[in-house]
Chain A
Amino acid sequence: MSSMTFGRAINAGLRKSLEDDPKVILLGEDIGKLGGVFRVTDGLQKDFGSHRVVDTPLAEAGIMGCAVGLAYRGYRPVVEIQFDGFIYPAFDQIVCQVAKLHYRTQGKVTMPITIRVPFGGGIGSPEHHSESPEAYFTHTSGLRVVAVSNPQDAYSMLRQAISSDDPVLYFEPKRRYHIKGEVKEHAEPSLPMGSAQVVTEGRDVTLVAYGPLVRTALDAATAAADDGVSVEVIDLRSLSPIDYSIVEASVRKTGRLVVAHEASQSGGLGAEIATTITERCFHFLEAAPVRIAGFDIPYPPSKLEAHHLPDLDRILDGVDRALGRRNSLSGLGA
């Protein structure tokens, strides 16, 4: 057990995977000498060589398509997409090839590719550096999608993603790279990659979050407790598939559901979770599920991002709405 930052935990996970399996190969822009624009791959090329930690030409479709070819050859590519908003040139290869080859070949070809994507906002960046594109991928069959929220999961779930024979989109919240936490290396992960986790138990309302907003949700739970409201926070961890058993059990207890994410609301994960929970727990719900999400806008300029990103107060407002307490929409009859 050692204390390390989020970014360092990912680095440790990559290092261990490179050590354990000679077929693991890292591909990305600036991941070699520079160690990545966030230094997440720092030192890996020096230790494993430029044939295993590969600085690629600046072309995301090219990186992803070559990863497919390497997987055909028996490799386990780990691709770094430098920023969330840069993933779209690779979208075709991810959606049409990575996701479908196993199905297309009736299981003959596997695509054990991990696609690391620093995602989300809150770091004051220019356009294309702060997006949350996860729903495009959760809508695509054949992919697994995870979002990590803390250094231990960053390490363990990366190792699980790389070991998985299915392709995994691994979303890492870039604004949390510098938070520290205890990380148990080399130990068996305590949960399967597809499991959600209750991170704070509560009685009154279930608050589901993932990635960067888990920490915000925990802060909101603390603040709500001061107000006498007991919030159960669930870290979703896996966005595809979603571990509904955990969410369902929680909502059966609390009767109220709030889902928070940075991504735009319409067609987002919140819609999917609210619908499924309504289908499964209708008679346990005391109120309509509430979504606290980014607006249906292109990611705004950084001077405006604080309005777009769900923060502690907006989440608490949603908690109040779920509880039927006075909130910003009170009186609208909603």
Chain B
Amino acid sequence: MILLMRSSERTGEFAAGDAGWRAGLRIGMGLAIGAFALAVSFGAFAVTNGWPAWLAIVMSAVTFSGSAQFALVTAASGGSIAAGVGAAALINARFIPMGAASARSLHGGPVRRAFEGQAVVDGSWVAAQNGDGSLDRHKLFGATLVQWPAWIAGTAIGALFAPSTEFMHDFGLDVIFPAFFLVLLLDALRDRPSLVAVALIAAVIAGAAALVVPSGMALLLCGLAALLAAARTSRRLGR
């Protein structure tokens, strides 16, 4: 009987895992279209700034981090590669809290968890949230698995064929990413309407920060809006 129960629990786990993978791959398709469009513009941007096409493609394969890659290429074209690496490191610092928040949802020992943590990228991490502080790791893996090759392929096409910005604009490719993130945001707020204030404050911070710092830094600063939620919890616990 116990064996049967364990077997049915395990079957349930596999079923949940399959559903997570399917959901992740489905969400990843949408994110991949946006990632592909952005990667095309990155590939063209890198080559225009004197980077060999092969190195731009390798960069996308081994770093897979849009705004940091743009920052590195921008700073390097200004003559300072070290400053570019520093800026990219600051921009990607948001992956530290995101990875830490994912820790208990990942499996295995430290090395395996660290390996599974490599699947953390903005869109996938957000999409994989369960809404209770935990994360669906299969959904995370599925969503990232689709985006990664799209990011590399987009970079390759951009670096080798360098399509014009007019082409991207005329076919609305620049609309894909903001539209997809907007839909994900609306979905998240439907589940947690109490976070509307956090979203509004983050939007204001992003708008102001984008004027003076690189995009990735602006995103990092948006995390300050989440302090509002922590403050509300403190007040509730203090009562």
Chain A partners chain B? no
Interface residues of A (CB under 8 A from B): none
